[in-house]
Amino acid sequence: MTYVHWVEPPIPAVKRLGYAPALDGLRGVAIALVMLHHADVLPGGYIGVDVFFVLSGFLITTLLLEERAAQGRISLRGFYRRRARRILPALITLLLGYLVVVALAGGSGIRAVALGGFFTGNAVQAFASPNPLAQNGLGLAHLWSLAEEEQFYLLWPVVLILLARTRRLIPALATILAVVLVWRGVLAAEGASFYRIYYGPDTHADGLLAGALLAALRWRGSLRVPEPIPILSFALVFVGSMIGLLSDAGWLYIWPFLLLGCVGMTAAAATDTRMAALLSVRPLVALGKISYSLYLWHWPIMVGIAYHFHARHAVFALLLSVPPAYVSYRFVERPFRRARSPLRRAALSVA
């Protein structure tokens, strides 16, 4: 009896990504854009969120593809455990702190904390009317972007396992991304609100998917970044942001160009380019390392100060958010990501 074994076509050898300081530097740029936007210093800085999305999609997909190549499979349990170590400790610390501060002020933050803790902020802002976060949970409204990422993390490893088996990962990803872009255009043509389109879990998934597509291209050895690309990418983001500010409807039409710029910047940071060298400077890398905690803490601090002392203190609030962000990074994020002690492992299991 003859047995026929199916052997997958060989994949070109691609160097493992490893630690790339430029990616942390790009995180530093992204969090600076977001914070300056929230402080009304840089109106077009909202694009920093999409930089984070593209980076997340790229890094997560790269790690999963590398794991599949090294071990022959993707461990869902291991993936979700790593995500829990990365996301939950700092988030839970913020939510507990928010509850305490709101209680001391004589209010109740339970509803807002529940929406943030269960990663539903994006769906609430897209579909709920009136928006409960806008009513009594403004200090946690920024967690919508974290919800978008976590929803993606929940589904994407399973989808990637299925797509990788088809040997059509890149065409499939490109098709899914195109469907999201077309679907957003259809909703806009039918008169959907800004909140539905911007905060929708479906309509704002393009950055994460674009990052995943970039990772697949790199994995197949198809990622080449000529030196003019980073400059053009930054120009696209800058010009697109400015054009979007000139018209209430402009943001919808320039969004794909902004996304393309974010993809170009991420590709430049992940490869050997001059832009990667610039992004690897120590201040940007240091800012990128604490970017998650800084993102968590800067907005509630800004909202609290603006509520009590008016918006002119927004820049002061940005500076004030750096110490708690560093403390969160140093004493919460880093220890729990390693999670070597039984107590920390037990805490993560409960979470």
* Cα torsion 17, 259, 180, 27: sign: positive
Kindly state whether residue 4 falls inside one of the protein's structural domains. Answer: no
Kindly state whether residue 2 falls inside one of the protein's structural domains. Answer: no
Kindly state whether residue 204 falls inside one of the protein's structural domains. Answer: yes
Kindly state whether residue 158 falls inside one of the protein's structural domains. Answer: yes
Which DSSP state fits 316?
H
First CA to last CA across the chain, in angstroms? 52
Task: Please count the structural domains in the chain.
Answer: 1
Percent of the chain with pLDDT over 70: 87
Task: Say what the pTM is.
Answer: 0.90
Is the model's pLDDT at 5 over the cut of 50? Answer: no
Burial of 62 (0-12, 13-18, 19+ CB in 10 A): buried
Report how far residue 259's alpha carbon sits from residue 211's, in angstroms, rounded to the nearest whole number.
10
Range of the domain at 280: 28-350
CB–CB of 314/63 below 8 Å? no
Report how far residue 135's alpha carbon sits from residue 196's, in angstroms, rounded to the nearest whole number.
17
pLDDT single digits (tens) 240-292: 777 666 555 566 777 888 899 999 999 999 988 899 999 999 999 999 999 99
- Alpha carbon 273 to its chain centroid, in Å, reads 23
pLDDT single digits (tens) 182-239: 999 899 889 898 889 999 999 999 999 999 999 999 998 867 788 888 888 888 887 7
Kindly state whether residue 7 falls inside one of the protein's structural domains. Answer: no
Burial of 73 (0-12, 13-18, 19+ CB in 10 A): exposed
Structure-derived torsion over alpha carbons of residues 224, 53, 158, 195, reported in degrees to the nearest 10: -140
Kindly state whether residue 23 falls inside one of the protein's structural domains. Answer: no
Burial of 287 (0-12, 13-18, 19+ CB in 10 A): buried
Kindly state whether residue 54 falls inside one of the protein's structural domains. Answer: yes
Kindly state whether residue 9 falls inside one of the protein's structural domains. Answer: no
